[in-house]
Amino acid sequence: MKTGWILFVALAASAPAQLAVKVRTLHPMTGDLQPMRDAVVLCGADGKIARVGPASEVPVPDGWRVVEAEVGMPGLVDARTTVGLSGLLNWERRDQEQLETSAPLQPELRAVDAYNGRDPLVRWVRELGVTTLHTGHAPGALISGQTMVLKTDRTAVLGPADTLVPMAAVAVTLGSDGFGPGAGKSPGTRAKSVALLRADLIKAREYRRKSEAAGDDATKFPDRDLHLEALVAVLRGEVPLLITADRHHDMAAALRLREEFGFRLILDSAAEAHLMLDALKAAGVPVLVHPTMARASGEQENLKVTLASELQAAGIPFAFQSGHEAYVPKTRFVLFEAAMAVTYGLPPAQALAACTLRPAEILGLQDRVGSLAPGKDADLALFDGDPLETTTHCVGTIIDGRVVSEVKR
């Protein structure tokens, strides 16, 4: 393990080399999602994909490094996680930065200010083929903070260039999981939760009105408020509200708020979404499905392991996530969740898309990640067999044209 880590640091520090990836089966996740046999992916020195196609049509230029594997696909995109804020060791106050419960509404908390790219958990998911994380503050508070999107080879976030999206969403929890900690803490009911959230959005709407009315006159501009600024970004449509809601009536509340304030909405977890298919379809709201193997208890007691296949049949966009668990090992592996969904009726091609192309689309990053096509980021996960078989190993991870892992995991 120590040697592999040293190798990664050395590779990450170097510029991308010209790299050719040769695989027996390639899942490019383009068009009809069909695989390609005996394929080659050429990764240029700029970290982008230069060409993709059958080996008979895409010759490997002289002098290029060649990496071979049985199966290749786009690097995995985890649609919702807390990796990098929640650490491997589960030590409170040491590596658990994903949830702040001192106040119910804290949209100003930035994921970039807590992310630790050197945590072993980040390395673990990278060695399993995860190249892109939508990570940040966890469910568990009415507004827990912001999320961001970045690549798993970024050991530190020094500025916006180290992320794909420095502020990707504002995370909200509706339902009892978002109630205040301890008896008598606010909010203590669903009605109180929605009232507090609505009041905050109204304040942000007024803050936005005053700010825009001030124009260039600094004397008329309201005092700066980081809390309201984050919500103004939501009201402007710059970032969505990522609302964790498992009960059908909490999802209905999320849809009502969306109708009232006009923000972009992404539903997270959504255990009872099978009861809301028509409403979700009509609203055009995407769903980040709870882990297929989540425990059917608490707010998720009515979850269905067939939810992904039901969303697919209904034409509702969805993606898989590792989510967040309040116990060791602190994260799940998104590809295992996809494989389990196949067991319960989801077509394999759609399962692979739901942890590559679909999350990229939901996050607005489909022009960079989630599929393999010329001009996109050269991010690949390599396997020694079918990625959806639990006996298969990830044998290589490539990010921006760099081999960042050659561990058999």
Distance of CA 78 to the CA centre of its chain: 4
Which token pair is 288? Answer: 């980040």
pLDDT digits (tens, 9 = 90+) for 345-393: 999 999 999 999 999 999 999 999 999 999 999 999 999 999 999 999 9
CATH of domain 2-74+377-405: 2.30.40.10
Class of domain 76-362: alpha beta
Let me know: does 386 contact 71? Beta carbons within 8 Å. yes
Per-residue pLDDT tens over the stretch 84-124: 999 888 777 778 899 999 999 999 999 999 999 999 999 99
Residue-wise pLDDT tens for the chain (409 aa)? 333 333 333 334 345 679 999 999 999 999 999 999 999 999 999 999 999 999 999 999 999 999 999 999 999 999 999 999 998 887 777 788 999 999 999 999 999 999 999 999 999 999 999 999 999 999 999 999 999 999 999 998 998 899 999 999 999 999 999 999 887 899 999 999 999 999 999 999 999 999 999 999 989 999 999 999 999 999 999 999 999 999 999 999 999 999 999 999 999 999 999 999 999 999 999 999 999 989 899 999 999 999 999 999 999 999 999 998 776 556 889 999 999 999 999 999 999 999 999 999 999 999 999 999 999 999 999 999 999 999 999 999 999 999 999 999 9
Report d(CA 248, CA 240) in Å as an integer: 20
pTM over 0.85: yes
Kindly list the domain boundaries of the chain, sorted by start residue: 2-74+377-405, 76-362
Tell me the torsion sign for CA atoms 405, 388, 76, 32.
positive
| β-pairing verdict for 76-81 and 36-43 | unpaired
